[in-house]
Chains A and B, each alone.
Chain A
Amino acid sequence: MHVDTNHKVFSSEGGITLGDQDEDFTLPMFIAMDPPKHDDQRKVVSPVVAPINLVKLESTIRARAANLLDALPVGEEIDWVDRISIELTTQMLATLFDFPFEQRRKLTRWSDVATANLEQGIIESEDQRREELVECLTTFIEIFKERQQTPGDNDLITMLAHGESTKDMLERPMEFLGNLILLIVGGNDTTRNSITGGILALNQHPDQYQKLRENPGLIASMVPEIIRWQTPLAHMRRRALEDTVIGGKTIKKGDKVVMWYVSGNRDESAIETPDKFIIDRARPRQHLSFGFGIHRCMGNRLAEMQLRIVWEEILKRFDTVEVVGEPTYIRSAFVKGYAHLPVVLHKK
């Protein structure tokens, strides 16, 4: 928290993950900027996920979650990640961008391509990554131009196309692409893996699942507990702008400093029995998953709302979403998540 809140000493400029971006293919995005540019660009898009806007989105999200859950086969093995977690977050993302709905899986693909490392097999080479991300850029340039002429109703691209500090963004295409990727990844991977993580956590803690069945009102405190327990982004990184000391250790100017949220969220000096998933914990919101300071997650309330709704709708329909095999994990030090989770649904 000391590092996260001292943005004057610990800079985000240039990158917020362990590795550095390729020098000839850098994507500027506001998560990897310092004030004042960070503040200006963030302020343009943050209203789309502001609570007042979320109230309007709630019925859409609920209807879509209900449709997806109703279409699932009961009693046979399915992949929860593909059928629910990916599909629900992708639909949401398409709504926020007002992206052509039938092409929504392109958003999933671009999100995966942007964060993939070569060992995962999602992409074969850096060249392939660039090609696919350039396709993302050209697709959105067309949408941006369209929305310049005909503004949409409160979607992210309309906001960028008309925001004071972003309306000329097409003159800086890499910055446009960077911010697109930020919004796509931010609204996709994180919630996706938390939706899956909740299923896994409840299966590993059957007493908590029983408590939830008996009292669905506990969804409110379970949602932040899922986000803590999963910690969908394992870390964020900064770079020191001056010599400094943290916890008695010297940090030299220019050094990278990594905040391991995943470790902080299991810190027994701050959280009682941190390895246990407890859906009615005292003060469950006091976790590190959203980060702190000026870069704190912008979509936190949307993520919480999606998780709340999906769980409300699951509990109406199913007695148990039973995990029937080992999850397949994503190979990454940044995105802490799942490629597959086999489950069988049992009706109420």
Chain B
Amino acid sequence: MAKVTFVQFSGETTTIDADNGDSVMKIALDNLVPGIDADCGGECSCATCHILVESEWMVRVGAGNDQENAMLGLNPDREPNSRLSCQIAMTDELNGLVVNLPEFQY
């Protein structure tokens, strides 16, 4: 189990005890955390599960692959800590992860 906290654009937070291996996107959907659409269901091909990783976690989360960067590249709201949550799988190392939801999904 690893904890992940979602911070809504409004500031409201939700913390979930997640199974290792589940993607941050799946955790949000399974627990009805709003703000993530996940139109492609986790295939890194719609960019509607965009999140902003809390800066201090960026080192451990790391950067996305080429395909993820291509998708994020089309989002005008992209920030240096932008990631697609379908591409981040929970591990013990990420226990306590904090992610921020953007105002809009594209």
Give the interface of A toward B (CB within 8 A): 1, 4-5, 7, 35, 39, 42-43, 46-47, 50-52, 283, 285-287, 290, 292-294, 296, 300-301
Q: Does B57 sit within 8 A of A, measured CB to CB? A: no
A301 neighbours in B (Cβ, 8 Å): 104, 106
B76 neighbours in A (Cβ, 8 Å): 43, 46-47, 50
The 12 sampled A-B contact pairs (Cβ below 8 Å) are A1-B43, A39-B74, A42-B74, A43-B74, A50-B76, A51-B103, A51-B106, A286-B41, A292-B40, A293-B71, A294-B70, A296-B74
Tell me how far the C-beta of A286 lies from the nearest C-beta in chain B, rounded to whole angstroms: 5
Interface flags, B46-77, vs A, CB<8A=1, else 0: 11100000000000000000010011011011
Of A39, A51, A283, A296, which contacts B45 at CB under 8 A? A296
Contact B103 A4 (CB under 8 A): no
Contact B104 A290 (CB under 8 A): no
Interface of A is mostly: helix
Contact A292 B46 (CB under 8 A): yes
Give the interface of B toward A (CB within 8 A): 37-41, 43-48, 67, 70-71, 73-74, 76-77, 103-106
Interface of B is mostly: loop
B45 neighbours in A (Cβ, 8 Å): 1, 4-5, 292-293, 296
B103 neighbours in A (Cβ, 8 Å): 51-52
B71 neighbours in A (Cβ, 8 Å): 293-294
Bound-complex Cα distance A321 to B84 (A): 41
Task: Give 10 A-B pairs besides A286-B41, A292-B43 with Cβ atoms closer than 8 angstroms.
Answer: A1-B43, A43-B74, A46-B74, A50-B76, A50-B77, A50-B106, A52-B103, A52-B104, A292-B45, A296-B47
Residue of B nearest to A224 (CB): B39
Contact B37 A285 (CB under 8 A): yes
Contact B46 A39 (CB under 8 A): no
Residue of B nearest to A286 (CB): B41
Contact A5 B44 (CB under 8 A): yes
B70 neighbours in A (Cβ, 8 Å): 7, 35, 39, 293-294
Bound-complex Cα distance A38 to B69 (A): 15
Bound-complex Cα distance A35 to B71 (A): 12
Tell me how far the C-beta of B43 lies from the nearest C-beta in chain A, rounded to whole angstroms: 6
Contact B74 A5 (CB under 8 A): no
Bound-complex Cα distance A301 to B47 (A): 13
Bound-complex Cα distance A286 to B46 (A): 10
Tell me how far the C-beta of B36 lies from the nearest C-beta in chain A, rounded to whole angstroms: 11
Instruction: Given A46-B74, A46-B76, A285-B37, check contact A5 B43 (CB 8 Å).
Output: yes
A286 neighbours in B (Cβ, 8 Å): 38-41
Residue of A nearest to B42 (CB): A286
Bound-complex Cα distance A171 to B58 (A): 44
A296 neighbours in B (Cβ, 8 Å): 45-47, 74
Bound-complex Cα distance A300 to B48 (A): 11
A46 neighbours in B (Cβ, 8 Å): 74, 76
Tell me how far the C-beta of B10 lies from the nearest C-beta in chain A, rounded to whole angstroms: 15
Top-6 shortest CB links A-B: A51-B104, A292-B45, A5-B45, A285-B39, A293-B45, A286-B41
Tell me how far the C-beta of B102 lies from the nearest C-beta in chain A, rounded to whole angstroms: 9
Bound-complex Cα distance A39 to B70 (A): 9
Bound-complex Cα distance A42 to B37 (A): 22
A50 neighbours in B (Cβ, 8 Å): 76-77, 104, 106
A47 neighbours in B (Cβ, 8 Å): 76
A35 neighbours in B (Cβ, 8 Å): 70
Residue of A nearest to B47 (CB): A296
Tell me how far the C-beta of B105 lies from the nearest C-beta in chain A, rounded to whole angstroms: 8
A293 neighbours in B (Cβ, 8 Å): 45, 70-71
Tell me how far the C-beta of A269 lies from the nearest C-beta in chain B, rounded to whole angstroms: 13
A5 neighbours in B (Cβ, 8 Å): 43-45, 67
Residue of A nearest to B73 (CB): A39
B67 neighbours in A (Cβ, 8 Å): 5
